[in-house]
Amino acid sequence: MKFYIDTANVSEIRKANEMGIVAGVTTNPSLIAKEGRDYIQTLKEIASIVDGPISGEVKATATDAATMVAQGKEIYAVDPDHMVVKIPMTEEGLKAIHQLHQLGIPTNCTLIFTANQALLAARAGATYVSPFLGRLDDIDEPGVDLIRTVAAVFHNYPDIDTKIIAASVRSPLHVTDCALAGADIATVPYKVLVQMIHHPLTESGIEKFKEDYQKVFGQ
Ligand code: E4P
């Protein structure tokens, strides 16, 4: 399983990128709005930092396929080597995914909450699907089951090359669950990536090695 970072904060993206752990970035309208900067300019800066797929979502006010396709072309033009157009799972969204696919523009179908939605998006030509596990957990439904089911369904049909991005990841445990469930990618907030690095035995082990070393060798 690969990692993408789920943020529009360029400072977090730079820090994660320097560790060599992120293969791509996902954003959404809420994440970009949180940064309070120009929408397209933010995507442009992100694409200049990470050499991998960068999901930029059509604006939240775009509801019809024609508008989504027009915005999708604009997002793709930011950096055709990296940009992926993120489109919500609706009837119009599927139409937009299909049209963008025919134009050779990669897409990420977002707000996936059932395996049927994932299968429909794959058949429409989505390059990626983003099943959201945290938001299912929030309403007392086991989100990881969705990831496992989508992975099993896609596995049954080798002609599907759509990749599964486990999204709405909220904890290190979610990340392990996604890897076991067969997600191709987990898109993870910076805070969770940092949590994954730490373990109390690692920290105390470093302290002990330092103490023993200094006793004999000094600084
Ligand atoms: C990424 O593709 C999603 O938009 C994001 O992971 C949603 O996360 P949230 O449910 O924590 O807002």
67 C-alpha to center of ligand 1: Å? 23
Contacts of residue 201, defined as CB under 8 A and 6 or more positions apart, other chains included, come to none
Per-residue pLDDT of 33-47, as tens digits, reads 999 999 999 999 999
Amino acid at 54: I
> Does the pLDDT at position 219 exceed 90?
no
Per-residue pLDDT of 116-147, as tens digits, reads 999 999 999 999 999 999 999 999 999 999 99
Using CA positions, which residue lies closest to atom 1 of ligand 1?
167
**Catalytic status, residue 86:** yes
For residues 160 and 18, give the distance between their C-alpha atoms in angstroms, rounded to a whole number.
33
| pTM (predicted TM-score) | 0.96
- Residue 85 belongs to what H/E stretch? strand 83-88
- Residue 163 belongs to what H/E stretch? strand 163-166
Cα separations (Å) of 104 from 26, 27, 50, 98? 20, 21, 21, 10
DSSP state at residue 75:
H
205 C-alpha to center of ligand 1: Å? 35
Among the listed residues 2, 86, 95, 208, the single catalytic one is: 86
